[in-house]
């Protein structure tokens, strides 16, 4: 079973249970990542972002998982993977998307360099998250979509607020999301909202102000002091 790679200490019977039974995110091989995403099939793409593409992964038993493949470029050099991984580790709240696995694997591939064939190192990085079936809030608030009644809308608003409160006040080091927008709010089958995409987040200690390197993000959802001065 594929799930044995996901929870290697589980028995075959336990492997049929949901991945949340694992105590910590598990390391997945890149070969397994390709298998559950049908070799990164474009039809499995459920979202794209500044740092990668999200695929729907399906295990043999039908269990689903979201697989975020991070871009393999020298610009990011693994830093975005490490940052988002660290930001997601330890976050446990019903209104925050849960990290359930990861992949960080090197592979030797043939490449041409200065007219010669050489063996280069390609790094495969992926973050595996709980699969949230109803997609992003962005898909449910267009002018064409009128299917949400007030009770559902209120539940979504309240859930987002609870998630933000947890990130700001429920952790030893508060987390500032920095790119909170409808596209980064996911809705599960019960329309419970989950805050996602922590690639731009910052972890804060006791200091109240911090100078950042850049102001990457979505204009319109960033505070002006962050855009103009890179200050939070």
* Residue 53, phi then psi, degrees to nearest 5: -120, 140
CB 132 within 8 A of CB 140: no
77 is catalytic: no
Instruction: Determine the number of helices (DSSP H) and then strands (DSSP E) in the chain.
Output: 5, 10
Active-site option among 23, 143, 179, 188: 179
CA distance 174 to 206: 9
CA distance 165 to 180: 13
Q: Which run of H or of E encompasses 109? A: strand 99-113
Catalytic residue numbers read 179
């Amino acid at each position: 079973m594929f799930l044995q790679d996901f929870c290697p200490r589980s028995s075959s019977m336990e492997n049929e249970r949901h991945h949340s039974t694992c105590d910590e995110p598990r390391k997945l091989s890149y070969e397994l990542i390709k298998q559950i995403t049908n070799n990164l099939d474009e039809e499995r793409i459920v979202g794209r972002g500044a740092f990668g593409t999200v695929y729907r992964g399906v295990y043999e038993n039908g269990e689903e998982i979201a697989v975020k493949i991070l871009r393999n470029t020298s610009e990011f050099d693994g830093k975005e993977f490490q940052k988002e991984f660290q930001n997601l580790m330890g976050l446990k709240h019903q209104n925050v998307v849960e990290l359930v696995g990861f992949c960080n694997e090197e592979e030797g591939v043939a490449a041409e360099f200065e007219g010669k064939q050489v063996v280069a190192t390609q790094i495969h990085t992926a973050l595996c998250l709980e699969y949230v079936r109803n997609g992003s809030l962005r898909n449910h608030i267009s002018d064409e979509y009128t299917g949400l009644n007030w009770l559902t809308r209120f539940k979504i608003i309240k859930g987002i607020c609870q998630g933000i409160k947890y990130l700001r006040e429920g952790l030893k080091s508060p987390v500032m999301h920095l790119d909170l927008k409808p596209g980064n709010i996911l809705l599960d089958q019960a329309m419970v909202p989950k805050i996602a995409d922590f690639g731009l987040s910052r972890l804060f200690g006791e200091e109240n102000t911090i100078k950042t390197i850049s102001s990457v993000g979505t204009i319109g959802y960033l505070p002006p002091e962050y855009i103009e001065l890179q200050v939070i």
